[in-house]
Structure 1
Amino acid sequence: MHFPFWLPALALINALTFFRFWIDKRAARLGQRRVPEANLLMLAALGGSPAALLARSLLRHKTRKEPFATRLQLIALLQLGALIGWFML
């Protein structure tokens, strides 16, 4: 059995996503320049949605922000659907 080439990339994008959410939370607390929501959503769309959802929960960050929350949930649902479809093939 060979090692999936995409696994390290997926781990990296999720680590980066969580880190960017943490940076944004810290910036919000300190009144500093924030990470644009588009950047956070792009990281989620690139495969970091598990970390984005985890960061929202653990950091209690952007939990009520709309339309960000809805867009993030949509990205996660689309990725979950794609994953289920992949394993059904």
Structure 2
Amino acid sequence: MQRSAITSSSAKNVCNQILRLRRQIEPAKNRTPCDVFINHRGIDTKRNVAGLLYEHIKNNLGLQPFLDSKNMKPGDKLFDKIDPAIRN
């Protein structure tokens, strides 16, 4: 009986910690998630160096990079997408 009480208490503590952390993280969801903003110049750079850098950062470092050709769709407003990425 004692063991169940300890396990139940520990489970409640873990749940409370998770809920507390979740509340702290929630406001961050409203922002555009971007850890690295890749600035480049020219179409060749975008397709070669910047594209390779984007893939490496995303796949190997576990970070969320922003590259216009990867994160924007045709018709997206430039300022509406790039400004939050830079400020984040």
Q: TM-score, normalised by structure 2?
A: 0.30
Greater relative contact order (Cα < 8 A, sep 6+): 2
Q: Report the structure number with the largest CA radius of gyration.
A: 2
Structure number having the greater helix percentage: 1
